[in-house]
Amino acid sequence: MKINALQLKQLIEASLFIAGKPQSISQLKESVLADYDVSRQTVLKTIEELEIDYQERGIQLVNVAGGYRFQTAEFLSPLLQTLWQEKAPKYSRATLETLSVIAYQQPVTRGDIELVRGVAVSSHIIKTLTDRDWIKVIGHKEVPGRPALYVTTKAFLSYFGLNSLTELPPLSDPEALQALFGNTQTTLETIKESTNE
C-alpha cells in the first residue's frame, strides 16, 4: 500500500509518542509500517524532519541506544519535578558503584567487581540491576567455577541517554560522572586506577 508524506509523518510521530521504549527504524517498518511500501531511507528522512520540528519545543525526539523516542527537553527537568506523582527509585551507593564498574570494565565477573569495590557484591544488587534490564549475562569466564560475565544493555544506554558506551564520560571528568551515576567517586577513582594498570 502507498502512504503520502504527511500521513507517514503523522503515523511515525504517533507511534513514537505511544511506544513505551525507543523504536528503531526496523521496528517501525515491521510494526506500524508493515503494510506500506516505504523505504528505510524515507523513514529515516521523515524521522529527521520530526527531530527538526521538535527541536525548539518542550518535547524532543531523540536517538538513544539505536532507537528513537520522545522525551522532555533536558532544561525543563527541574521545573517538571512537581508533576511526578511517583518518585524515581533511589539506588544505593553500592548499586550505583556496581553498575559503574560493569559499565566501565565490561565484561566483568562478580569477582572482578568485588576486587574493584573492595567488598562483596550482594545478590540483591545483581538482581536489581538485572530486573531493571540495565545488565545481563553474556556468558561465563573459562576459569574454575565458570562465573557469569556481566555487561550493560541497550536499556542502560537508553535510560542514561547514551547511544553507545563510547559516550560514557571519561573517568577524569568528576562533574560528568557525578551527573551520570551520582555519588560514586571513590569507586570510579578505583576503576580509573585499575584501568591504568
pTM of this prediction?
A: 0.61
Residue 147 CB contacts under 8 Å (≥ 6 apart), including other chains: 109, 110, 111, 140, 141
The secondary structure element, H or E, covering residue 63 is strand 59-64
Of 147, 81, 141, nearest to 110 by C-alpha is: 147
Residue 116 pLDDT: 87
What one-character DSSP code corresponds to residue 70? E
Residue type, position 35, single letter: D
Secondary structure class of 34 (helix, strand, coil): coil
- Please report, in tens digits, the pLDDT of each residue of the chain (197 residues total): 889 999 999 999 999 999 888 999 999 999 999 999 999 999 999 999 999 999 999 999 999 887 999 998 888 888 887 776 556 667 888 998 999 999 999 999 999 999 988 899 999 999 999 999 999 999 999 999 999 999 999 989 988 888 889 988 887 766 666 666 655 555 555 555 555 54
Domains of the chain are: 5-82 (1.10.10.10), 93-196 (1.10.10.10)
Other residues' Cβ atoms within 10 Å of the Cβ of residue 81: 10
Residue pair 47/61 in contact (Cβ under 8 Å)? The answer is yes
Residue 119 grid coordinates: 567488598
Residue 168 vs residues 30, 116, 156: alpha-carbon distances, Å? 31, 19, 11
